[in-house]
Structure 1
Amino acid sequence: MEKISVIVPCYNEQESLPLFYNEIKKTEEKMHSVFFEYIFVDDGSKDGTLAIIKELAEIDKKIKYISFSRNFGKEAAIYAGFQNCQGDYAVLMDADLQDPPKLLPKMYDYIKNNEYDSVATRRVTRKGEPRIRSFFARMFYKIINKISDADIVDGARDYRLMTRRMIDAILSMSEYNRFSKGIFGWIGFNTKWIEYENIERVAGETKWSFWKLFRYSIEGILAFSIVPLQLASIMGIVFFGISIVLIVFLIVRTLVFGDPVAGWPSLACLITLIGGVQLLSIGILGQYLSKTYLETKKRPIYISREENWDD
């Protein structure tokens, strides 16, 4: 019997976990030909998430869990899930039921009866989401697809079912600075996309503020594109060319027409502009350098405080 590993990253999800468990068990009952294992990854939650996971593990021996020593972030939780899953397939799901378990039989049917290595989901609407957040999200997908090799579909969710060979390919990319959506697209493999309407959280509050999403998008761009570095170089060349033209213009105007150089306000504006471009370029370089610095440290992606693999 084939096995599906259900990987569930959790951070402060005490309200939604019991509801999620009830729904995924209903789905499991419909898929009689497949054995399920559950891997709950507690990402250093501050509420009763871990206690609820332990309670569920007591009544369901298919449940395994790992609890981090602190909050390492969802990317670390996703990696931990992949690293510890034993299934022929693995499905990544959020505990807030924004990833509907009822789609899983359909996803399994696609991957089993066709030559797909992955069946992924995407939202076709962003109902219930602030307009400005939706606007910036769409802009991010457009930008990263133009400047990188990662194929990221607009509205893509982390919710996807994958074969073992795709899981192994993901694990081979053991980089510290992780951006899973980009990794899924970069490694390739045949992917079937399933569309569905946006579903709001069943309980609790989102952990993703606008600022966190903005930082996450920057992480994605830095992880899969060097265009910002190229842009900094282009700006340097452009401003160097402009400065040469202005120098020649001022010399000619002074020598030929006897016109003295204009006052300091225009000079101050130019110095401020060029200084700003220089600082921006240094900042871009610094971001890439900082990522390189973190990679060379070879720190673990996560640290486990507690787990029940041997129970």
Structure 2
Amino acid sequence: MTNPPGLSVVIPMYNEELVIPALVARLRPVLDALDETYEVVAVDDGSADATAALVEKHRLEWPQLRLVRLRRNSGHQAALTAGFHRARGEFVVTIDADLQDPPETIGDMVRLSRDENLDVVYGVRSDRSTDTIFKRNTAGLYYKLMRRIVGPDLPQQAGDFRLVRRSVVDVLRRMGDQVPVYRLLIPSLGFTSGTVSYVREKRVAGETKYPLRKMISLAWDSTADFTAAPLRLATWLGMTAFAGSLIFMVFGVVVWANGTVIPGWTSLFLAVLLFAAVQLICLGLLGEYIARIYRALQNRPAFQIGYDSADVTETPVVAAVPAQRTPATMP
């Protein structure tokens, strides 16, 4: 068995065939210039395009490139988990394929970790002007909320571009979270950490893999995985509804005692709607947590690895590389 590399770069990919040529052209010179042995672990998250085939094609000229292919699309965090499980380096860097996080920052992360003996180095976005106003504002609200939940150890504007040491990876691999939110989980573990700032760039090609629906899902997963506050909110909503019902009861008794006709169905209709809505919200929040407990008890794997190019006994099954297409540029 060969000695493990000093650095592993984990890149989750989902339908990124337009990005791969630019990614390889930019990432390889950066890593070759480092005084580190390295590997690049490209995790294909069940892509429906030629992502896996293109990675295999580039492997012929870049021996440090590995392809880990999941059997189906399991999600970004699950792909990161697969990368953590398969990476062999003393340092593991996670970065997205779209080149919005500059690969040139990886060298700064490694040097900072070595010089200050840090377990984690976060990439922090100092400038997000390439993002839309809506995304910048919602991201700001997300990090404010998460800092209240996780604590001040969570860096502002730190996503999934980070470096961790092998000791952190070993802890992450032992944890039983089905699909952890690493941008919150890693800061909550209390490892020594530092930050490296960078300017967030435009996506080099293709479309974002985090539309509004997935952003909302990430925010909910982040909240539900790290706090029971929504259940407490349901309790407070129930108490508020109960207090409101008492007020309506007192009002009804007073009106009846004074001989005044109680207003008709409008007030009753609105009150029933209000209390029914509160009950449904509370039941929905409770059901969401019960569903998470149910999934945890099932203990089904969050992902299945179908192929790893580092396993010589496996035979890759990938689609043929399609005819070259001109990469689309972001507006």
Q: TM-score range by the shorter chain?
A: over 0.9
Query: Counterparts of 1:1-311 in structure 2 under 5 Å?
Result: 3-32=6-35, 34-148=36-150, 151-255=153-257, 257-311=258-312
Distance 1:97 1:136 in 2: 21
Pick which of 136-145 and 148-157 moved more.
148-157
Gaps of 5+ in 1: none
Higher helix residue share = 1
CA deviation digits over 1:171-193, x for unaligned, max 9? Answer: 12231132111111211212111
The answer (yes or no) to whether the contact 1:176–1:301 under 8 Å persists in 2 is yes
Q: What TM-score comes out, normalization by structure 1 length?
A: 0.94
Pick which of 291-300 and 166-175 moved more.
166-175
CA deviation digits over 1:255-285, x for unaligned, max 9? Answer: 2x22232221011111101111111111111
Partner SS, residue 40 of structure 2: strand
CA deviation digits over 1:149-199, x for unaligned, max 9? Answer: 584333212111111111112212231132111111211212111222220
Gaps of 5+ in 2: 313-331
**What do you get for the CA RMSD once the two structures are aligned?**
1.7
The answer (yes or no) to whether the contact 1:68–1:305 under 8 Å persists in 2 is yes
Q: What TM-score comes out, normalization by structure 2 length?
A: 0.88
Q: What is the percentage of aligned positions where both structures have the same residue?
A: 29
Q: Which amino acid aligns with 1:220?
A: S
How far off its partner does 1:143 sit? 1.8
Pick which of 72-81 and 116-125 moved more.
116-125
**148 and 159 in structure 1: CA distance in 2 versus 1, 3 angstrom threshold:** closer
The answer (yes or no) to whether the contact 1:151–1:182 under 8 Å persists in 2 is no
Distance 1:12 1:61 in 2: 22
CA deviation digits over 1:51-98, x for unaligned, max 9? Answer: 111112222222222111111111111001100111111000111111
**177 and 162 in structure 1: CA distance in 2 versus 1, 3 angstrom threshold:** closer
The answer (yes or no) to whether the contact 1:150–1:183 under 8 Å persists in 2 is no
Pick which of 279-288 and 14-23 moved more.
14-23
Distance 2:12 2:87 in 1: 13
CA deviation digits over 1:116-140, x for unaligned, max 9? Answer: 1111112123223222232222112
Distance 1:254 1:151 in 2: 58
Q: Which amino acid aligns with 2:85?
A: Q
